[in-house]
Amino acid sequence: MKHHLYIEMDNCIGCRSCLAACTQCGGHEERNRNYVYDVDPLVSRQTIPLMCLHCVNPACARSCPAQAIQITDEGVVLSALVEKCIGCQNCTLACPYGIPKFDQEQNLMYKCDLCYDRTKEGIPPMCASVCPTNTLQWLTDEQLAAKQSRHALGQWTASEPYNPLEGMTNVKISLPGILQGKQKLF
Amino acid sequence: MQGDNRTTTFANKIHPNEQLVPTHCSYCGMQCGMNLRVDKSTNKIIGVEPRYDWPVTLGKMCPKGVTAYQQTNHKDRLLRPLIRDDASLKGTKDGFREASWDEAYSLIVSRFQALQRQYGKDSLSVFSGVSMTNEKCYLTGKFARVALQTRYIDYNGRFCMSSAAAGFLRTFGVDRGSTLPWTDLHETDCLFIAGSNTAECHPTSMFRVWEVQNRGGYLIVADPRETPIARRADVHLDLRPGTDLALANCMVNLLIRSVRIDKEFIAAHTNGFEELKAIVESFTPEYTSEITGVAPEKLIRAAEIYGKAPNAIVMFARGIEQQTRGADNVSAYTNMCLVTGKIGRPKAGVATFTGQGNGQGGREHGQKSDLLPGYRKLTNPKHVEEVCKVWGITPEEMPQPGVSAYEMFELMDQQTIRGLYLLCSNPAVSAPNQNFVREALRHLDFMVCSDIYLSESAEYADVVLPSVTWSEDEGTVTNLEGRIIKINKAQEPLGESKPDWLIEVELAERMGRGQYFRHLKTARDVADEFRLATKGGYADYYGATWDKIDRQNGVFWPCRDEADTGTPHMFLDHKFYHPDGKAKLCALPYRPPAEEPCEQYPLRLTTGRVVYHYLSGNQTRRIPFLRDMCPEPYVEVHPETAALYGIHHDEVVRLYTRRGEALYKVKIIEAIRKDTVFVPYHFGHEQSVNLLTIDALDPMSRMPEFKVCAAQIGKLPEGAVVS
């Protein structure tokens, strides 16, 4: 991938513009495909987005008995192919992050495809385009490397070092706390 | 212009068979850039595409912006004029029948003329809004004064920007909401933000706010609630609602005491320092802490950071402005910039977050009871003469200044005002003390309402006129930076709806005043006359042609002629707009809010907004995504306060004040002061929190004190049925 979706959790204000924008992408049938959660709503207003991380070796695709979940050359994990999906919902159970959604009427799984019809043309996905806070960013390799060195977050995986359940992901996330140890200007 | 920018070609790869019309959002003062997607075969708006090359917002949009396009072809749109013959049904949605424009106009003219014959010209009134273009705002002022010949015109900016305007006018002699462009925000070293729930009300400012912190700069937020922006602030000044003046005075006192002030700047460019120093002296951290409830060490730290910052920007919004001391709060916080000289240069200054889309432009051009185009004053004979020349009337014909928005309702109640022409506003939700306001509307002999949907206020009208959405007309808007931008037309008006400027021109003709209006045949005709009418005023738009706006991504006023490229930064020469060129440091003694808590009403009620809704909610409550995200109001209560009352999360309680009551679900959250409860105000009828708010007005700005009154929670009896 020339560009990466990068998530800076601390920036999220819970506006859910990403979800509204998700419905606007051509191939999304006006349904949003990701999640924003209140972290501890009785205490604070902190929220975090939960987007598909587009795992390098995705559990959803591995669990699919019909090989309906395709992975593109760019590493995008697509929605189930209509003609192959048998509606077993294995993927919704296999995904450690609960990403795939299921359409009962069509008996069909659907999930984030990183706005593939945009991103394959070099256009940012809708969620990162509109995100008013830069929680969701669409970064080049160089920009991402700069972020990584600044935040020093190691392998950029969701679950290392304790239990590398899914290993590497194409989407990179920075957990809350990015300002810790920040050198102040004055 | 349309179709030639980078975004359009770039994005059209994925939108074949569509035209992308670059424009701006219909909602708040951010005026985020967006492209409306128009289906080339049906010529209808079908969606939105980010406008990545708009320099202020870079394609970013909040959920309101993303779904704004859904207003245009919404099933609730008014497509034909409505007439209600049975006045006893006022205050309900019932009894309207569709009518032709001709019949509606005839009825309006005959009733308006009859009222004026019997009770005088001033028996009519115009109540307008600023979610419409400069051209419409300008023409509405002219319509009231030249077509209806009444003195009574005012607008919903009285509930929004009037305190900022009054405060800035007193301090600087000019009222441009921001002294610097928004593209400076992320490059400053300290943001001091008071009374602004920025993350929810101006979300697309947030990427710049966070960038200040990412660079190692500081964020200071003053708010009774730990809002999403306050959550990450370096210092959160969690003050009691209504105590801003004490806090601002304390900041100035600490800056003076620690000598983090610019004595040369003060001497050369300001007046009133000694008086200010004497007033703020008593505002020690300890004394201020008693008033505001903010810990002394937080006050000291905030002043230290602001004082040390090489560059800093003071920002505020309705939180400090919707108080009986709103204008004073504006001047008091602005004192911080002036005593430190942190103004009149890039990356340093002061800004208010303008609420409505055209809250800036709409307040400058004659919709206000005492103002004429170009920020001219009705009380200044020279100003009146200048405008009369453009309008073609004599100064004797110019009506006198009227009264402010809320005071108009008082005159309706007293039957001094008997007819109302309401457009682009929904005071049956947004005005304070709703029980009184709704009764005043019911008292009217005749009321016309122009809107895109049947709003709560339209329910009091005799005639409802269908106007167009922002996407079906063109014109200019002045965003919260003071940047004049262009709204483009993406679709022909739906049904028989018409733009408000055209309705006003056609009504003027039938009122027998056509000679002053009939030359205005297009929005551009109105724009040309409007620019001319501002020429030579404080808010001079004469040089801001539509071509120039397109060419340079907007024009900051003042822009006086063809060659002038506009004024992104104000006061770079350190010349302020008072006759002596100096800014006024205002010495302002503290007074508490109009209504303080007491035994009977021990809580402080404050009101505000959520990210999913805009103003009275007349637009956003109809958009499925936004309605799903926030379908109803609620009352936010601290868990310790909730325990005191024995109420739990999601329980419905009765919230009441001296003026009214409403039922709300409890939302328990630690992110609010224990002595304060909060309700969002975007909801109508029995859900409106403005049934409870107080009608105390700021003596200078006539702004109602929406942000604080005394309230009490009542637990409903066991087993009470709540619909």
DSSP string, B539-564: S--TT--HHHHHHTT-EESP--STT-
**Which structure tokens are listed for A16?**
């859910």
CA distance B630 to chain A (A): 11
B441-471 confidence digits (pLDDT tens): 999 999 999 999 999 999 999 999 999 999 9
| Contact with chain A for residue B258, Cβ under 8 A | no
Closest-CA residue of B relative to A18 is B63
Give the integer Cα–Cα distance in Å for B55 and B651. 45
| Contact with chain B for residue A176, Cβ under 8 A | no
Distances (CA, A) of A78 to A53, A109, B311: 12, 10, 47
The reported pLDDT for the residue numbered A159 is: 47
DSSP string for B497-509: -B-HHHHHHHHHI
Q: Tally the C-alpha atoms within 13 A of residue A124's C-alpha that lie toward its C-beta.
A: 24
Distances (CA, A) of A1 to A100, A126, A153, A174, B624: 22, 17, 20, 19, 35
CA distance A65 to chain B (A): 33
For the ranges A149-158, B355-364, B626-635, the lowest mean pLDDT is seen at A149-158
Cis peptide leading into residue B558 (ω within 30°): yes
Q: Per the CB < 8 Å rule, is A121 touching B213?
A: no
Q: Per the CB < 8 Å rule, is B671 touching A45?
A: yes
The reported pLDDT for the residue numbered B16 is: 86
Average pLDDT for residues B317-337, to the nearest whole number? 98
Q: Per the CB < 8 Å rule, is A20 touching B66?
A: yes
A134-161 confidence digits (pLDDT tens): 999 999 999 988 887 776 654 555 544 4
pTM for the full model?
0.96
Residue B236: strand, helix, or coil: strand
Of B147, B79, B149, B114, residue with least CA distance to B506: B147
Instruction: Pick A13's closest partner by Cβ from B14, B228, B670.
Output: B228
Per DSSP, which regions of B609-705 are E strands?
A: 634-637, 652-656, 661-668, 676-680
Which residues have CB under 8 Å from A151's CB, separation 6+?
Answer: A174, A178
The reported pLDDT for the residue numbered A175 is: 74
Q: Which H or E element spans position B712?
A: strand B709-715
Distances (CA, A) of B598 to B595, B605, B657: 9, 13, 11
A74-94 confidence digits (pLDDT tens): 999 999 999 999 999 999 999
Q: Per the CB < 8 Å rule, is B216 touching A182?
A: yes
Residues of chain A positioned with their CB less than 8 A from the CB of B186: none
Domains of chain A: 3-180 (3.30.70.20)
Mean pLDDT across chain B: 96
State which amino acid sits at residue B375: Y
B49, β-bridge pairs? B35
Would you give the distance in Å from CA B2 to the centre of its chain? Answer: 29
Closest-CA residue of B relative to A118 is B14
Residues of chain B positioned with their CB less than 8 A from the CB of A138: none
Average pLDDT for residues B338-362, to the nearest whole number? 97
Of A116, A108, A117, residue with least CA distance to A64: A108
| Contact with chain B for residue A34, Cβ under 8 A | no
Tell which B residues from 215 to 254 touch A, by Cβ distance under 8 Å: 215-218, 226-229, 231-232
B285-315 confidence digits (pLDDT tens): 999 999 999 999 999 999 999 999 999 999 9
Give the integer Cα–Cα distance in Å for B566 and B195. 30
Average pLDDT for residues B106-132, to the nearest whole number? 98
Of B507, B496, B499, residue with least CA distance to B448: B507
B601-624 confidence digits (pLDDT tens): 999 999 999 999 999 999 999 999
Give the integer Cα–Cα distance in Å for B683 and B616. 6
B394-440 confidence digits (pLDDT tens): 999 999 999 999 999 999 999 999 999 999 999 999 999 999 999 99
Q: Per the CB < 8 Å rule, is A24 touching B11?
A: no
The reported pLDDT for the residue numbered B723 is: 57
Percent of chain B whose predicted confidence (pLDDT) is above 70 = 98
Q: Per the CB < 8 Å rule, is B210 touching A11?
A: yes
> What burial letters (b/e) apply to A52-71, b meaning 16+ CB within 10 Å?
bbbbeebbbbebbeeebbeb
| Contact with chain A for residue B310, Cβ under 8 A | yes
Q: Per the CB < 8 Å rule, is B670 touching A42?
A: yes
Closest-CA residue of A relative to B667 is A42
Average pLDDT for residues B204-212, to the nearest whole number? 98
Give the integer Cα–Cα distance in Å for B525 and B528. 5
CA distance B212 to chain A (A): 10
Q: Per the CB < 8 Å rule, is A185 touching B228?
A: no
Mutate one of B15, B66, B636 to test the A interface: name it (highest A CB count within 10 A). Answer: B66
Q: Per the CB < 8 Å rule, is B668 touching A117?
A: no
B486-505 confidence digits (pLDDT tens): 999 999 999 999 999 999 99
Residue B662: strand, helix, or coil: strand
State which amino acid sits at residue B666: V
Q: Which H or E element spans position B210?
A: helix B206-214
Q: Per the CB < 8 Å rule, is B199 touching A21?
A: no
| Contact with chain A for residue B616, Cβ under 8 A | no
Q: Which H or E element spans position B34?
A: strand B33-39
DSSP H helices, B90-161, are: 101-119, 134-142
Residues of chain B positioned with their CB less than 8 A from the CB of A121: 13-14
B420, β-bridge pairs? B125, B447
Q: Per the CB < 8 Å rule, is A43 touching B669?
A: yes
Residues of chain A positioned with their CB less than 8 A from the CB of B668: 42
Whether residue B100 contacts residue B81, with contact meaning beta carbons closer than 8 Å, is answered with yes
**Which structure tokens are listed for B654?**
């009765």
Which residues have CB under 8 Å from B376's CB, separation 6+?
Answer: B366, B383, B384, B386, B387, B537, B538
Residues of chain B positioned with their CB less than 8 A from the CB of A143: none
**Which structure tokens are listed for B341?**
């000289």
pLDDT at B356 over 70: yes
Residue B406: strand, helix, or coil: helix
State which amino acid sits at residue B685: H
Quick one: angle between helices B500-508 and B101-119, nearest 10? Answer: 60
B248-270 confidence digits (pLDDT tens): 999 999 999 999 999 999 999 99
Closest-CA residue of A relative to B46 is A24
pLDDT at A163 over 70: no
Closest-CA residue of A relative to B205 is A132
Q: Which DSSP category does B310 fall into? A: S
Tell which B residues from 28 to 47 touch A, by Cβ distance under 8 Å: 47
Percent of chain B whose predicted confidence (pLDDT) is above 90 = 97
> What burial letters (b/e) apply to B101-115, b meaning 16+ CB within 10 Å?
eeebbebbeebbeeb
Tell which B residues from 118 to 177 touch A, by Cβ distance under 8 Å: none
Q: Per the CB < 8 Å rule, is A13 touching B206?
A: yes
The interface predicted TM-score (ipTM) is 0.95
Instruction: Pick A123's closest partner by Cβ from B10, B203, B204.
Output: B10
A90-118 confidence digits (pLDDT tens): 999 999 899 999 999 999 999 999 999 99
| Contact with chain A for residue B199, Cβ under 8 A | yes
Per DSSP, which regions of B168-217 are E strands?
A: 190-194
pLDDT at B8 over 60: no
The reported pLDDT for the residue numbered A156 is: 52
